[in-house]
């Protein structure tokens, strides 16, 4: 029987990932990590683009809408993406230079950013992707030995963390689209 991988989110909810889905993502990360650094940079650009495209047509008030009290708004998702991309950029940079990295996988929506406008949140997210791009640009050619533990996907090297940016961003772009679909007209 397949087991699920799970972790607690910042609200104490258990988030589970079925083993077959986990294996599929790990396979994708390894495949992408076999590519040269310029291809990983393209993947980061695609990740940033997926978030930006998902925001098309979102107004300031729509960005604050929550489908239910325990679900994130678009603004919450943006705060999370900003925090997690900054953390991931630091991980990539540390691993690319052979240093130890300790992932902060509990990147909740940053509460001190709760009063930011949608434009400010978008700018923050854009800046966080710039940080990831700068970190990914430091990835050397050849094998990447240093790893940092991801709670779902295991030990990832700097190239795999760069590929993870795309997976994570696509997931949250889909989350934004789902929130938008529930906004009352």
In this predicted model, what pLDDT tens digit does every residue of 131-163 receive, in sequence order? 999 999 999 988 888 999 998 899 999 999 999
Name the CATH superfamily, with its identifier, for domain 38-182: dinb family like domain (1.20.120.450)
Percent of the chain at pLDDT > 90 equals 70
b/e per residue, 56-77, with b = 16+ CB within 10 A?
A: eebeeebbebeeeeeebbbbbb
In this predicted model, what pLDDT tens digit does every residue of 41-66 receive, in sequence order? 999 999 999 999 999 999 999 999 99
pTM for the model: 0.89
Q: CA-CA distance, 18 to 153, in Å (whole number)?
A: 11
Q: CA-CA distance, 126 to 133, in Å (whole number)?
A: 11
Contact 180, 67 (CB under 8 A): no
- For residue 23, give the DSSP letter: H
Q: CB under 8 Å to 61, separation ≥6 — which residues? A: none
Pick from 151, 125, 163: which is nearest to 42 by CA? 163
Q: Give residue limits of the domains in the chain.
A: 38-182
* Opening angle at CA 58, ends 56 and 63, nearest 5: 140
Q: Is the pLDDT of residue 4 over 90?
A: no
Q: CA-CA distance, 16 to 146, in Å (whole number)?
A: 26
């Amino acid at each position: 029987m397949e087991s699920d991988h799970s972790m607690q989110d910042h609200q104490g909810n258990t988030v589970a990932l079925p083993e077959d889905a986990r294996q599929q993502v790990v396979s994708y990360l390894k495949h992408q990590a076999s590519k040269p650094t310029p291809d990983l940079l393209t993947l980061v650009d695609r990740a940033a683009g997926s978030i930006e495209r998902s925001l098309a047509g979102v107004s300031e008030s729509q960005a604050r809408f929550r489908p239910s009290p325990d679900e994130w708004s678009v603004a919450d998702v943006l705060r999370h993406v900003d925090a997690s991309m900054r953390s991931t950029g630091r991980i990539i940079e540390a691993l690319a230079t052979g240093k130890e990295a300790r992932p902060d996988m509990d990147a909740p929506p940053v509460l001190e950013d709760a009063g930011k406008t949608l434009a400010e949140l978008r700018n923050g997210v854009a800046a966080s992707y710039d940080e990831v791009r700068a970190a990914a640009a430091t990835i050397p050619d050849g094998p990447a030995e240093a790893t940092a533990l991801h709670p779902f996907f295991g030990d990832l090297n700097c190239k795999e963390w760069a590929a993870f940016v795309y997976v994570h961003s696509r997931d949250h772009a889909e989350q934004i689209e789902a929130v938008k679909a529930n906004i009352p007209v």
